[in-house]
Structure formats: structure tokens, C-alpha cells
Amino acid sequence: MACKFKRTAAIVSQECLLPGIFSMWLEAGEIAKEAVPGQFISMYTKDKSKLLPRPISLCEIDKEKGFLRVVYRVTGKDTGTEQFSRMVKGDTIEIMGPLGNGFPLDAGKGRKAFLIGGGIGVPPMLELAKQLDGEKQLIMGYRDKQFLTEEFEQNGAFYLATEDGSAGTKGNVLDAIRENSLTADIIYACGPSPMLRAIKRYAEEKQIVCYVSMEEHMACGIGACLACVCKSKEVDGHSHVHNKRVCKDGPVFLSTEVEI
């Protein structure tokens, strides 16, 4: 796993993609140079009353320039993410990363892959789509309005599902897979637990290798506090119980390793 660094990052640009959804590019130096798809960074607010950082998944990585892109949802008024959304080009922010374990690229090399994202689990799939070798089928699920669709269309065969049926398949990502008669040898997925639970069952039924990036509330982001544990098949060497720390052991797991 890559080393982690803490640094002051300058904001290169920020834009609102949809109401409540923002895209930020950061000058992240060595963090960007070490990062891999599926990892995240911790972002610190300037509000001293908010001591804990906010974990944000990486959307794009530009190693040559040392830039990182994060696409995040504002979770409420006067939250850390709301404060981030008010920042502009030239502002600075404390970040730490790269954190966690990313998607195993070698596992998908030369294989026909599903890259599945849902909700705010969509952004991490973009850098994976850019770096993964082999045939890629990108299946993204949205409640209604979509974002990042043009970028996905440039990086593989793109399919989408919307709950309200306003675009693509009406329903969820598995409905889109069935409607388009798609098949794969390996699955990479990121999104809310109900979606991942359904994908895990689908992978077991089809006997497909499946990696899931799990979403959990985090505190420290480095595995010390045990605030983001999930149930695991094997006993964890750190806590000596059937737990895995999503921030440090994950967020990406082989689906058969964890309970969702």
C-alpha cells in the first residue's frame, strides 16, 4: 500500500455539477503521485469545532501534474462538505492521503469487466475505467439526474439506470445489466449497501469474481478508532474478531470476504 502524506493543497478549480454535487480539482503533489483508483483522501475543514476530517473518494488522478479530482455530495447545512463547496480557486485545504486499499487492477487485466457505480459511488469508478485494461462495461445508477456521463462514455461501453426512468433503464444497475443482456468475468462496484448486497448475490449466482468498495461513516480514516468496521468472514488480526476496518483494510474488498 502507498505511503500516506498530509499536506496543504491548493484548489485548482471547483464547479457545481448538479444541485448539491460538486467537483473539485486539488494540487496534491505526492499524494496524487502515489494514489490508485479506489482510494480516498481525508479533507479537513478550517472550522476548529469540526475536528474530524471528511473522507472523500478519488474521482480522477493526474500523476503528471500532481492533481486529484474529488466529486462529492453536500450532506447538509454547515457541514464539512458544505464548507468545502464554498471554496474557490486559490483557496487552500489540509488533506491526508492516499488512504485505504484501491481496486486490484491486475485482477481485471484482459478480462471482461463490469464497473458498477450507484449514487455518490459513481465518481470512484471513473479513474478505474481510465486505468483498467480489457473490455469495460460501465453501468451507473442514479436516482434521477446524472453526472459524469460524458466522461464515462469516453472510457468504455456505457449503460445507465435511473429510478424514475428519465434516462437509460428504469430501475437499478442490475435491471440495466439484464435489459441489455450483459455478461462479465469480473465485477468492480461502489455504492450504497443495498446495491452492493444485491451485486454480491448476483456475483455468487453467476460465479463471478467481485470486488466491492464499501461506504461507511469514518472517524480517523487510518484504522485506529474502529468506527467504520464491517463484518468479515475471517478474524481480523487487529481487533481479533470478525471485523474489517473499512478505512484501512478496505474500502475495497473481495465480496466473499465481507458481509454486506
* Structural element, H or E, at residue 17: strand 5-18
pLDDT surpassing 50 at residue 1: no
Greater confidence (243 vs 255) lies with 255
Measured CA to CA in angstroms, residue 32 lies from 69, 82, 88, 146, 248 at distances of 9, 24, 20, 27, 18
For residues 211 and 257, give the distance between their C-alpha atoms in angstroms, rounded to a whole number. Answer: 10
Q: Give me the CATH code for the 105-213 domain, please.
A: 3.40.50.80
Instruction: Give the domain 5-99 fold.
Output: Elongation Factor Tu (Ef-tu); domain 3 (2.40.30)
User: Of 211, 221, 189, 248, nearest to 41 (Cα)?
Assistant: 221
Give the pLDDT score at 48: 76
> pLDDT tens digits for 98-126?
999 999 999 999 899 999 999 999 999 99
Confidence of residue 50 (pLDDT cuts 50, 70, 90): confident
> pLDDT tens digits for 136-169?
999 999 999 999 999 999 999 999 999 999 999 9
The mean per-residue pLDDT over the stretch 56-79 comes to: 95
Is residue 215 within 8 Å of 193, Cβ to Cβ? yes
Category of 47 on φ-ψ map: left (φ > 0), alpha (ψ -120 to 50) or beta = beta
Domain boundaries, given as residue ranges, for the chain = 5-99, 105-213
> pLDDT tens digits for 201-216?
999 999 999 999 987 5
> What nine digits make up the cell of 45?
475543514
Give the pLDDT score at 233: 57
**Pairing mode, if any, of strands 40-44 and 21-27?**
unpaired
